[in-house]
């Protein structure tokens, strides 16, 4: 006898709704933190503290769907603009073995997204000296999570109106596989040649 599909319950329906609203908030309001977007979406739908939140993967799937339907022209253009800017920053910081990560690499970046680049150096001070020598203003980001693979430093700067987050790791960390703090999966990352290939 064939197995019947389970009937979706109200909890799974609410979970899907939360994922959809969180995705819209990320696309339209520039929220980058999956956890914050999910909690805000749940609250807006009347979900209490005990509500089952969707996974980050479920929200990302909804985000891609939302962008394909509602931002089908704007989002791909913005993504290409961000990738071109990322290549410029990576070229400037080539001595520090830059890797593009985050939404600009995975293709979910939108109108409010910034560029995330991982760098590898003997010391974060070397990166700061390089930025200062090119008269590039930056701000250290003190909001580094206390986790084993946290960067030595994070520096925020503006590149032609685009926010850029540089995460500086020691050289020895380049071979380590970093975890995405949002999904817990291995982080995607790409060198400049791979980013250039995405623009073709």
Percent of the chain with pLDDT over 90: 68
What CA–CA distances, in Å, run from 152 to 90, 148, 158, 181? 19, 11, 20, 16
**Banded model confidence at residue 6, pLDDT cuts 50, 70, 90:** very low
**Banded model confidence at residue 175, pLDDT cuts 50, 70, 90:** confident
Following DSSP, what letter does each residue of 27-61 receive, concatenated? HHH----HHHHHHHHHHHTT--TT--PPPHHHHHH
Percent of the chain with pLDDT over 70: 86
Tell me which residue of 157, 126, 162 sits closest to 140, measured CA to CA: 157
- In this model, does residue 8 exceed pLDDT 90? no
Who's near 159: CB < 8 A, 6+ residues apart? Answer: 85, 88, 89, 115
Tell me which residue of 75, 74, 100, 106 sits closest to 86, measured CA to CA: 100
Q: What is the mean pLDDT of the chain?
A: 88
**Banded model confidence at residue 173, pLDDT cuts 50, 70, 90:** confident
- Answer whether 0.75 is exceeded by the pTM: yes
d(CA 97, CA 101): 13
Question: Cβ of 55: how many Cβ atoms within 10 Å?
Answer: 14
**What residue ranges do the domains of the chain occupy?**
10-70, 74-198
Region 38-53 average pLDDT: 85
Question: Cβ of 7: how many Cβ atoms within 10 Å?
Answer: 6
Mark 83-96 as b/e (b = at least 16 C-beta within 10 Å): bebbbebbeebeeb
User: pLDDT tens digits, residue range 67-92?
Assistant: 999 998 999 999 999 999 999 999 99
d(CA 149, CA 147): 6
- In this model, does residue 9 exceed pLDDT 60? no
Rounded to a whole number of angstroms, the distance between the first and last alpha carbons of the chain is 51
Query: What fold characterizes domain 74-198?
Result: Beta Polymerase; domain 2 (3.30.460)
- In this model, does residue 7 exceed pLDDT 50? no
pLDDT-wise least confident of 43-52, 99-108, 151-160:
43-52
Tell me which residue of 194, 108, 127 sits closest to 165, measured CA to CA: 127
Helices (H), the chain: 10-29, 34-44, 56-70, 74-92, 102-106, 124-133, 192-198
């Amino acid at each position: 006898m064939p197995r019947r599909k389970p009937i979706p319950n109200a909890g799974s329906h609410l979970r899907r709704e939360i994922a959809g609203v969180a995705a819209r908030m990320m696309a339209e309001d520039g929220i980058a933190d999956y956890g914050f977007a999910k909690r805000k979406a749940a609250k807006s739908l009347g979900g209490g503290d005990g509500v089952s939140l969707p996974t980050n993967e479920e929200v990302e799937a909804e985000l891609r769907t939302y962008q394909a339907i509602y931002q089908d022209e704007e989002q791909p253009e913005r993504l290409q603009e961000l990738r071109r800017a990322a290549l410029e920053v990576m070229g400037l910081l080539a001595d520090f073995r830059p890797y593009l990560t985050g939404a600009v690499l995975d293709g979910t970046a939108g109108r409010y997204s910034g560029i995330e680049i991982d760098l590898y150096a003997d010391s974060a001070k070397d990166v700061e000296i390089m930025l200062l020598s090119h008269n590039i203003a930056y701000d250290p980001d003190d909001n580094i999570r206390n986790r084993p693979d946290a960067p030595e430093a994070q520096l925020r700067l503006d590149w032609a109106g685009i926010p850029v987050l540089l995460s500086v790791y020691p050289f020895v960390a380049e071979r380590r596989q970093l975890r995405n703090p949002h999904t817990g999966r291995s982080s995607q990352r790409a060198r400049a040649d791979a980013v250039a290939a995405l623009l073709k």
